[in-house]
Amino acid sequence: PKRIHGFTMGQKFSVVAVVVAGAVAAVKVAANGDGGPKPKKNKTTTSVVEVTLVGASPGRQILILFGPPGAGKGTHAPAIEKKLGTPQLSTGDMLRAAVSAGTTVGKLAKQAMESGALVTDEIVCGIIAERIANKDCANGFILDGFPRTVEQAKALDAVLAKSGESVTRVIELKVPDAVLEERICGRWVHKNSGRSYHSKFAPPLSLKKGKLPKPKHMCDDLTSEPLVQRADDTSTALVARLKAYHAQTVPVLEHYGPAKAVGVDANRTMALVWADIDAATN
């Protein structure tokens, strides 16, 4: 199983309408607080899909951002957020938040992890359904890292269809594989905030001219805390990651078709890349 932001995730998605037992409790808590009455056993269990109806509004901008590791999603996503007034949502961040908050689906994810089982796609989709019902998603949201397969795309479509919505745009940042190795292997991250640096293209202030990018020279600009490199940010791991990315992504792009899916050449200056992204999100 692949590990994303510290969580293992199954890639098999067995259902389209994602139903998680006990989600009705989350709806009750939202309405009545933690002390609200518990649902009766003879009542039909509420589907996590139904949670998306809360907070959904017509005309939301719903974007999916694709790109291989090192394509620049983390660089350009904040600009898209600012333009559209919509949050960027990554599956890893949502999983961590749901587990920390103790939501109904978050508890299921925590149980799976503590037992050594996979955090299934059903659970991940349920967490997405909870998250996009929040007020900050009233204008829409940007999904980063989901869906990864056609089955997941169909499940997402079903979630959105419950509120009469659909994905409005799919943007793929395209960079030749040969260019990505330099980008990936020089990448350093501040673990607590997610701030990203690059030893060559965007070095931290702590990396003085002439110094090698060793841990003692790589510190976050704001906190001075040490930066880290992901274990899979290596040339060997990159080959496998790119192979999996291309195998999974092409069918998803075909699923949404040319009317919604747009490719952006991200092997150019930031200004030129943003110009195409800006045009694709108008």
> Which strand (E) or helix (H) includes residue 261?
strand 261-265
CA 247 to CA 258: how far, in whole Å? Answer: 18
Do β-strands 140-144 and 196-198 pair in parallel, antiparallel, or remain unpaired?
Answer: unpaired
Phi, psi angles (nearest 5°) of residue 124: -60, -45
Contact present, 139 and 86 (Cβ < 8 Å): yes
Which bin fits 14, alpha (ψ -120 to 50), beta or left (φ > 0)?
A: alpha
Which residues lie closer than 8 Å to 280 by C-beta, 6 or more apart? 169, 171, 262, 264
Contact present, 261 and 172 (Cβ < 8 Å): yes
Active site positions, annotated: 73, 148, 187, 230, 241
Helices 177-185, 235-256: axis angle to 10 degrees equals 130
Which residues share a beta bridge with 3?
A: 8
* The dihedral formed by the CA atoms of 142, 154, 128 and 36, expressed in degrees to the nearest 10: 140
Contact present, 13 and 148 (Cβ < 8 Å): no
For the record, the structure tokens of 37 come out as 């009455």
